[in-house]
Structures are given as structure tokens and as C-alpha cells.
Amino acid sequence: MFKTIKKRDGREVSFEESKITDAIFQAARSVGGEDRALAMQLTLDVLKMLKTKYNGNIFSVEDVQDVVEKVLIENGYARTAKAYILHRDKRTRMREAKGDLMDAVEEILEETSKENANVSNSPSAKMLQIASAASKKYYLSRLVPEEMANAHTNGDMHIHDLDFYGKTLTCVQIPLGRLLKEGFNTGHGHIRSPKRPTSAAALAAIILQSSQNDMHGGQSFAFFDRDMAEFVKDADDFETYQAMEALIYNLNSMHSRAGAQVPFSSINLGTETSEPARRVARNLLLAYEKGLGRGENPIFPNIIFRLKKGVNLEPGDPNYDLFKLGLRVAAKRLNPTFSFMDSTFNREYGDQVSYMGCRTRVMANRKGPAVTDGRGNLSFTTINLPRLAIKADRDIKKFYRLLSDMMDMAKRQLHHRYQVQAQLKIRDMPFVMGQNLYMGSENLKPDDPIEEAIKHGTLSIGFIGLAETLTSLIGKHHGQSEEAQALGQEIVSFMRKKVDEACEEYDLNYTFLGTPAEGLSGRFIKMDRKEYGIIPGITNKEYYTNSFHVPVDCSVGAYEKIALEAPYQKYCNAGHISYVELPSAPIHNLEAMESIVKFMNESDMGYAAINFPVDFCTSCSLLGVIEDDTCPRCGSAFIRRVRRITGYLSTTDRFNSAKLSELGDRVNHRL
């Protein structure tokens, strides 16, 4: 009856009526039908309707599918029609995913995505991101439940590291001391325990590298000074310094994450008072202060200096000299950042709380001991908070209803991901699980599932854009009014309670995160601007403000900013960070540095940093603030500009457009 049909891509191909019969029969079988003769009879009805409707004119695949649906419904086969429609919708989504994937690949081949500021533009990076794009499409169309996949795709929430959804975990605090003492195996033979500082530091870098290849997030040493002390007790400062310098060089040059990135490394130290541990901390800080080979600012590791009363906070404390050294190094190099063991939410754990540069914190544990070593975050999902406020249209009760529903979806999605992750085998993560980096993996065999280990990890619900949310709800953000500050704390407290309820509901370690949004800060606002238009104070820029931060362009003093943001940190038990922005490196004003850090401590913060520009001329090695496009000393245009982004350091040439816009809006905070 018909000779040709138009495909979706515009091509005309031979018409095959058997394909209509096959589609009807398969839809009928899915609801219990087995009558192929009936499918053939219905096909004839479809052909008659096509002849009547198109009268010899060519029609498309979509036209045929519309007629099939109509014939099924008119002949009383509603269940078969529904099955056919669902199958058609699924195939449509799969085709769209393939099309989107090809578009993404084309863009990546031109230039690597800048969703992550520590990914280079190398060939390996491009291949990594093509694989990432394919993985995302697969998980959204095949594995993630449709409701949750749609919420991610539409921008209601964001499933972080979606490309690794069913393959691995986010991060781990590495038990370095045990690995160095017992030795380990990276897959090609056992590495025995080191004897000298240089060997120990080299193996520490290898451990970070090997762990990074099993996971997609950051890797951290929770007690670096304590764990390395054993290997420097017979060494002098010179040998220890050489080892620490080599470690820093390695962590800035090992592009071991699929050839595209160096490991996201963090090192916690500062509260160990034995002389070998102090020697480790002192020389690591000194090596970081010196910089790389020509004086460049190191990007990694992110050094986190623990502060605790009676240990290092005041003159007379045994490690006060290390605190002073840490301030001096931070005033030049942006690191170390500072964590506070005496905050109300860290105090109960003594000096055991460790952070990662991205802000991650893992401590309480429903399934075992509340320790840091051997545990990490499993996965996290962020809620588009400003969108909920826009939808609520200044109706606070409606906002809370929407927020409650979205929190419930996020916790269901995280539980779904946990169930997928729990089915992984020990052999799927040969170093992290096979070498017992993760608590609970000690007695498991290669083919055992990893659930017994990952039950100690955390599932985190995060948020961004509190400032824009408040502006949408009441016209001002928390840097502008006390009412907004009170509402902001109420909202964040509400979310934390919902997360705590998830802990009870699922008996897992759900936690609440002030999200380190990098690519996400631009993704959410771009989608909301398209949906809701330009709204002053909300969607009229290129980024949403990170987590609970006061907007970067808000003119407040340094101490005022600390006081405004500090109350939010106690709610965000999965991680938090706050910053103060200075116009230049405060190397000649260390008293102000100490005053700021101590005020952070007194304000009940858990983790914080001090930011300023660090520019470096790669031609003449000038270090400072270079405001022009060229070096004022030699005229070179090759300027390396280091800034902090979501906790870690990076160079601005790797910032995405949203973060570059945010960087341009940052104002200095008055002292």
C-alpha cells in the first residue's frame, strides 16, 4: 500500500508494515497479550487510517506512531496503548540523550569543559570528559529513577558526579600511618614500610595517587604530622624539609587522574606536640612557603591547620610557634586554611575532626566509631534553593512545602544511589577497598559487596543560593537585614532537621552540606533565567552565591562577614567554609591575620580561609598583585593568577564563565 516513510532525520526509506505489527505485539505482550493475529488485524486498521488521512502523501515515523495510539484506544485496548506510549516515550528520551551526547562531544573536542577548575585542556582530559558525558546520559536514561532524573535534568536539584553514579564513591580520609607502617600493594607487588622521610613522603604521594584513581573526589590525610612522625624521628630538619618539598612537587605534577588532573589532596596538621610531629608540620609549611621551583604558588596540597586552645592558639601553648608559622605562610600562599577544634560542633571530638579543601567534614557515625580515618562522603546532591523561592512567590508557607518535598526527593535519590554503590565489589575499588583504606573493608574478600564498608560513609544533601533565596522571599539577603539573617538561619535549620530525619528513616549517615558549587553555580541560574526571566537580585547575574555565603559583592567588614556566616556552619555537618577577602597578601600585617583567625574561632566557625590575589610572572618570577595584563617589571603577558575556588586553589584560566564573573564581583572586606 505504501512505498516510503520519512525518518526523523528527514531521510526517506522503504516502508515496512511488519514494524507496526511488531510494535503492537510487543506492547500487548508487556501487558499479558500473546495474540499476533490480533496485532496484524490492528495493523490493517492503522494502514487504512494512514491512507484516509494522508491520501498518498508521504508521512513520518511520528505520524505512524500517533495513528497506532489512536487505533489502539478506539478499539478498546487502553492498557496496550499505555504500554505503547510508555515505550515510545522511553525510545524518544534515549534518542534525545544520544543527540545531546553527540552535541556534548562536539563541544568537548573543541575545548574541555570548565565545570572543574583543575581539569586541563589536554587530549587525556578531552577523552575523560567524553566518557563522562556518555556516562551521564546512560545513568539518566537507564538507571536513575525517572522522577529523580527529570529533577536533575530540569535543574530542580543536581546529582553531583553523575558520571560516576554507580561506579565509585566521592572521597576518603586516608589512614596514612597504618599504610606506611604495614606497607601496601598498588597492584604490581607489595610496597614495604619506608625507613627515611624521603621514602615515606614519596609513598604518601603514591597512596594519594592510587586512592584518587579509585574515587572521583578528594583524598586527604587526616593526621599527617602524627602519621609521618615515626619516619622523621631520626632525621634532621634538612632531610625532613627535602622530603616535604618533594611531596609538594609530586602533588603538583602527578597528572594521575586519567592524565587530566593531579589528585585533589588535603593535609591536616597542627595539634601533634611530639618533636618529630612538629618537625613534619614545620618543614611542610616551610616548603610550601618557598613555593615551586621558580617560586610559583603551589595549588596542592590544601593544608588545613587545626587550632585548639591549650595546644597552639595562644603564646605559651606548645605549638603556638607552628600557628605563627602557619599564619606567615597563609599570608603569602593562601594556604594553610584553618579548622577550629573548639567550635560547639567539633568540641566533643577533641582534636579528631579533619576537613578537606573542598570543605568536606565526616565525623558522626551511626554504624561504628565516630572517627575520621578510613571514612568519607559517598555521594551528594544539591537542591536549587532559589528556584523554590521563585516558585513560592513570597509565600513562606508554600516555600517550606516545596522545600520539604524537594528534600524528600533528594534523600530518596541518595538512598537509591547508596543501594547501587553497595552492590559494587571489593575488586571494583582494588586500592581503596582492597588495601583496607575504608573502615569495615578489612575482612572482606574480592567478590564481596562493599556495603559493610560504605555504611560508615556519609550521604549529603547540599544547597546553594541562600542569599538569592532570601532576596526572592523578602526582598533582602542576610547581609542587608537582620530579618533576612533570622529567616536564613530558620531555613537552614529546617533543612538540617529534614536531613536528621533521613538518618532515622534509613539508618544511614545522612549529612547536610554547604555545597562547593563550581559549574553548578552557573548551571542553576542559567536554567532559572531561561524559565523565569531576569529577576533583580536573583537571576540578573551569571552565578548563584555559594551555600550560605553573603554575596561576594556585598560591602561588609571582615569581622561583620565572619559574624554573619558563622551561625550557619553548625548546621552544615557535612562541610562548610567561610572566607574573608583582602586586597593583597598581608605579609606585613600578620597581627591582622592572627586577629581574623582568632575571631573566626571565637565566632563558632569550624573551617575558614583568608583570600587575596596571588599573581606570578612566569617570565621574571615577580610575585604579588599584577593588576594589568602585562608584568610591570618585564612586560611579559604570561601571568599565572592563583585564586581560591570552592575551597581549593586554581589558576583563573581554568575558571568557567560563571566563576570568572563571580571573581570579578568580589569586593574586599574592611579590617
CB 287 within 8 A of CB 245: yes
Query: What does the pLDDT look like over 223-236, one tens digit per residue?
Result: 999 999 999 999 99
CA dist., res. 71 & res. 393, Å (int): 44
CA dist., res. 179 & res. 176, Å (int): 5
Cell, residue 644: 581560591
Mean pLDDT of all residues in 21-46: 88
Q: Which helix (H) or strand (E) holds 82?
A: helix 78-110
Q: pLDDT above 70 covers what percent of the chain? A: 93
For residue 302, the model assigns a pLDDT of 97
| Average model confidence (pLDDT) across the chain | 92
Mean pLDDT of all residues in 601-616: 98
Higher pLDDT, 519 or 268: 268
CA dist., res. 355 & res. 349, Å (int): 13
For residue 110, the model assigns a pLDDT of 59
Mean pLDDT of all residues in 556-573: 98
CA dist., res. 405 & res. 425, Å (int): 33
Mean pLDDT of all residues in 14-34: 87
DSSP percent split of the chain into helix, strand, coil, nearest 5: 45, 15, 40
Q: Which residue has the cell 565516630?
A: 370
For residue 144, the model assigns a pLDDT of 95
For residue 255, the model assigns a pLDDT of 73
pTM: 0.84
Length of the chain: 671
CA dist., res. 77 & res. 82, Å (int): 9
Domain boundaries, the chain: 4-84, 172-349
Radius of gyration of the chain (CA): 28
Q: Which residue has the cell 591575620?
A: 593
Higher pLDDT, 139 or 488: 488
Q: Please list the alpha-helical segments (H only) found in 275-319.
A: 275-290
- Per-residue pLDDT at 117 exceeds 50: no
Mean pLDDT of all residues in 611-633: 96
Helix (H/G/I), strand (E/B), else coil: 317: coil
Query: What does the pLDDT look like over 575-602, one tens digit per residue?
Result: 999 999 999 999 999 999 999 999 999 9
CB 351 within 8 A of CB 311: yes
Mean pLDDT of all residues in 460-486: 98
CA dist., res. 490 & res. 472, Å (int): 16
Cell, residue 145: 529513577
- Per-residue pLDDT at 94 exceeds 70: no
Mean pLDDT of all residues in 517-525: 92
DSSP states of 494-539 as a string?
Answer: HHHHHHHHHHHHHTS-EEEEE---SHHHHHHHHHHHHHH---TTTT
Residue 567: CA count within 13 A, CB half-sphere: 14
Cβ neighbours, 10 Å, residue 545: 27
End-to-end CA distance of the chain: 84
Out of 255-259, 418-422, 460-464, 513-517, pick the least confident.
255-259
Q: Which residue has the cell 533565567?
A: 529
- Per-residue pLDDT at 118 exceeds 60: no
Higher pLDDT, 668 or 137: 668
Out of 72-81, 271-280, 519-528, 530-539, pick the least confident.
72-81
CA dist., res. 181 & res. 201, Å (int): 13
CA dist., res. 164 & res. 149, Å (int): 15
pLDDT band at 98 (very low <50, low <70, confident <90, very high): low
